[in-house]
């Protein structure tokens, strides 16, 4: 049975803005309060999806969450009519209004962790929405995300959906941003690689000093148990604490893997040698190809600035791999030079494609953050909701939809505008019809 990797990109929502909500994510801090352009953000994302679809890659779309979340504001004590809730949140705590309005669900690498059916004990695809409880604005996502995932993968013969892990820091879970799957072929059993920032129940272990470690080892282990992953198919690794302190808030900012290739920076992991040996030992039917970028080639700082590793590594029909990078990689000289050297090296990666994703990048979200990888057999793909699969028609419909409903500038003050709430609801209501998703939003 053949299987493919399908990339499900998050469609950017109508309230996309820059609020500096993610301490430890350098771009989010730097660009705080900049004017955002939700229309451009959504169109940039759609152009990437369409370009990859046109190249023959399987591409899906995950709709945005309903924002601002009036319920989230009510839960923390703002009251009155919806317009009053927005206004009093803006006057008393604009940062909380921004949190309830964030379009952060666009970064679907954080939506959940997915284990393909070839890896799981019950041979179903397993999904666990990430609790994202390191940041208030992101902790608001998982229930709605779970509902959307269930509407897309709605067949319990093929798909198993779990609830998010307990909402405490000790089970901090950031989803697929810290999870990679290695395999010989997509339909063969793979090795699931879980990367964490700290061990929650052992304070004596190394952890970052400056920035938070969002993912715990305990969360990784819980997901492996929930998904029914046998021990011989799981490898755990810890991020270097100093690398988190340099701005690497998720592992996908410093490493990316596909099939039997791991493209990573030498400062990514603690005990790299034993991690690689472990992956090699557990990988069946192929040799692991580690592509290590050394400090003297690209510094961690340049990796964070350019988002070199927040790239998509995709297998082309000829078996070689394409690296999808943000255009910032061509603006940092060392990184650009490295890319030229990489594709000329005769290794597994022989092509680079550059995309303009500036609107998302300014919040610390590159090509890899914007997509959730779901390996599906053909049968599973047919069982998933066809309305979310990219096509010429869907691209045209979504582009028109964005042009019709989205604003091209948004300030912090605009988030309190009740008209924005109504515009978003009207847009999302229409979107569920375009994508044939049924009622997935709390307002529907
Ligand atoms: O969680 N930024 C996101 C970026 C997520 C990137 N995802 C991956 N690396 N997979 C975050 O830090 C910033 C929002 C703001 O500041 O307005 C934000 O949420």
Kindly write down the DSSP assignment for every residue of 382-397, as one continuous string. HHS-GGGB--HHHHHH
Paired residues of 10 in beta bridges: 62
Catalytic residue among 161, 250, 265, 405: 250
For domain 113-124+147-293, is the CATH number 2.40.50.140? no
Q: How far is CA 141 from CA 34, 102, 127, 159, in A?
A: 23, 10, 15, 21
Q: How far is CA 417 from CA 18, 94, 413, in A?
A: 16, 13, 7
Q: How remote is the CA of residue 284 from the centroid of ligand 1, in Å?
A: 34
Q: How remote is the CA of residue 350 from the centroid of ligand 1, in Å?
A: 29
Query: Which residue ranges make up each domain of the chain?
Result: 6-107+370-444, 113-124+147-293, 301-355
Q: Which atom of ligand 1 is nearest to the CA of 110?
A: 10
Q: How remote is the CA of residue 102 from the centroid of ligand 1, in Å?
A: 10
Catalytic residue among 174, 267, 328, 380: 174
Q: Does residue 353 contact residue 343 with C-beta atoms inside 8 Å?
A: no
Q: Is the shortest distance between the CB of 112 and ligand 1 below 6 Å?
A: no
Ligand 1 pocket mutation pick from 107, 140, 257 by most atoms within 8 angstroms of CB: 107
Catalytic residue among 126, 137, 369, 380: 369
Instruction: For residue 369, indicate whether it is catalytic.
Output: yes
Q: Is the shortest distance between the CB of 107 and ligand 1 below 6 Å?
A: yes
Contacts of 92-97 with C-beta under 8 Å, sequence gap 24+, read: 94/412, 94/415, 95/19, 95/21, 96/136, 97/68, 97/73, 97/412, 97/415, 97/416
Q: How remote is the CA of residue 409 from the centroid of ligand 1, in Å?
A: 20
Q: Does residue 283 contact residue 260 with C-beta atoms inside 8 Å?
A: yes
Alpha helices in 135-232, H assignment, sequence order: 136-139, 142-152, 217-226
Closest CA to 8 of 67, 48, 68, 66: 48
Asked, colleague to colleague, whether 6-107+370-444 and 113-124+147-293 share their fold, the answer is yes
pLDDT of residue 168: 97
Instruction: For residue 405, indicate whether it is catalytic.
Output: no
Six-digit token string for 407: 């604003």
Q: Does residue 248 contact residue 270 with C-beta atoms inside 8 Å?
A: no
Q: Is the shortest distance between the CB of 18 and ligand 1 below 6 Å?
A: yes
Q: Is the shortest distance between the CB of 138 and ligand 1 below 6 Å?
A: yes
Q: Where do we find the tokens 């290590």?
A: 292
Closest CA to 263 of 330, 228, 314: 314
DSSP secondary structure letter of residue 440: -
Instruction: For residue 112, indicate whether it is catalytic.
Output: no
Distance CA 319, CA 304 (A): 29
Q: Which atom of ligand 1 is nearest to the CA of 24?
A: 12
Q: Which atom of ligand 1 is nearest to the CA of 132?
A: 1
pLDDT of residue 67: 98
Q: How remote is the CA of residue 341 from the centroid of ligand 1, in Å?
A: 30
Q: Does residue 286 contact residue 280 with C-beta atoms inside 8 Å?
A: no
Closest CA to 361 of 306, 295, 420, 287: 306
pLDDT of residue 1: 63
Q: Which atom of ligand 1 is nearest to the CA of 250?
A: 9
Distance CA 233, CA 405 (A): 45
CATH of the domain spanning 6-107+370-444, picked from 1.10.3720.10, 3.40.50.10150, 3.75.10.20, 3.40.50.2300: 3.75.10.20
pLDDT tens string, the chain, 444 residues long: the values are 699 999 999 999 999 999 999 999 999 999 998 999 999 999 999 999 999 999 999 999 999 999 999 999 999 999 999 999 999 999 999 999 999 999 999 999 999 999 999 999 999 999 999 999 999 999 999 999 999 999 999 999 999 999 999 999 999 999 999 999 999 999 999 999 999 999 999 988 899 999 999 999 999 999 999 999 999 999 999 999 999 999 999 999 999 999 999 999 999 999 999 999 999 999 999 999 999 999 999 999 999 999 999 999 999 999 999 999 999 999 999 999 999 999 999 999 999 999 999 999 999 999 999 999 999 999 999 999 999 999 999 999 999 999 999 999 999 999 999 999 999 999 999 999 999 999 999 999
pLDDT of residue 33: 87
Give phi and psi for 7, each to the nearest 5.
-95, 120
Q: How remote is the CA of residue 243 from the centroid of ligand 1, in Å?
A: 17
Give phi and psi for 9, each to the nearest 5.
-90, 145
Q: Is the shortest distance between the CB of 28 and ligand 1 below 6 Å?
A: yes
Q: How far is CA 409 from CA 1, 321, 406, 422, in A?
A: 47, 37, 9, 17
pLDDT of residue 203: 86
Ligand 1 pocket mutation pick from 17, 18, 22 by most atoms within 8 angstroms of CB: 22
């Amino acid at each position: 049975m053949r299987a493919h990797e399908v990339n499900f990109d998050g469609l950017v929502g109508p309230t996309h803005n820059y609020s500096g909500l993610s301490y430890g994510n350098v771009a989010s801090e730097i660009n705080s309060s900049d004017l955002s352009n939700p229309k451009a953000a959504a169109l940039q994302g759609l152009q990437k999806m369409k370009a990859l679809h046109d190249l023959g890659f399987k591409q899906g779309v995950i709709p945005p969450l309903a924002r601002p979340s009036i319920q989230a504001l009510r839960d923390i004590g703002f009251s009155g009519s919806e317009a009053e809730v927005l206004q009093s949140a803006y006057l008393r705590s604009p940062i909380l209004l921004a949190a309830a309005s964030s379009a952060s669900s666009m970064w679907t690498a954080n939506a959940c962790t997915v284990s393909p059916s070839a890896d799981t004990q019950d041979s179903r695809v397993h999904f666990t929405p990430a609790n994202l409880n390191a940041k208030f604005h992101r902790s608001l996502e998982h229930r709605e995300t779970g509902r959307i995932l269930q509407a897309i993968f709605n067949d319990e013969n093929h798909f198993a959906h779990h609830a998010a892990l307990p909402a405490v820091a000790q089970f901090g879970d950031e989803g697929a941003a810290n999870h990679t799957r290695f395999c010989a072929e997509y339909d063969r059993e793979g090795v699931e690689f879980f990367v964490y920032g700290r061990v929650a129940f052992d304070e004596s272990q190394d952890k970052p000093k400056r920035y938070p470690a969002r993912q715990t080892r305990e969360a990784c282990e819980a997901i492996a148990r929930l998904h029914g992953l046998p021990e011989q198919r799981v490898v755990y690794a810890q991020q270097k604490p100093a690398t988190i302190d340099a701005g690497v808030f998720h592992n996908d900012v410093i490493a990316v893997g596909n099939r039997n290739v791991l493209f990573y920076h030498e400062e990514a992991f603690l005990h790299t040698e034993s991690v690689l040996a472990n992956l090699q030992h557990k990988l069946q039917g192929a040799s692991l190809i580690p592509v290590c970028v050394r400090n003297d080639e690209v510094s961690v700082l340049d990796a964070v600035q350019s988002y070199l590793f927040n790239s998509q590594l995709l297998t082309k029909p000829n078996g070689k791999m394409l690296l999808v990078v943000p255009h910032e990689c061509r603006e940092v000289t060392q990184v650009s030079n490295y890319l030229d050297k990489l594709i000329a090296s005769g290794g597994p990666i022989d092509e680079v494609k550059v995309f303009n994703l500036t609107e998302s990048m300014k919040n610390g979200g590159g090509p890899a953050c914007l997509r959730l990888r779901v390996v599906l057999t053909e049968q599973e793909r047919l069982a998933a909701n066809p309305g979310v699969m990219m096509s010429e028609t869907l691209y045209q419909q979504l582009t028109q939809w964005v042009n019709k409903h989205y604003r091209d500038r948004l300030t912090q003050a605009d988030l309190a505008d009740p008209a924005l709430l109504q515009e978003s609801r009207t847009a999302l209501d229409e979107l569920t019809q375009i994508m044939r998703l049924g009622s997935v939003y709390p307002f529907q």
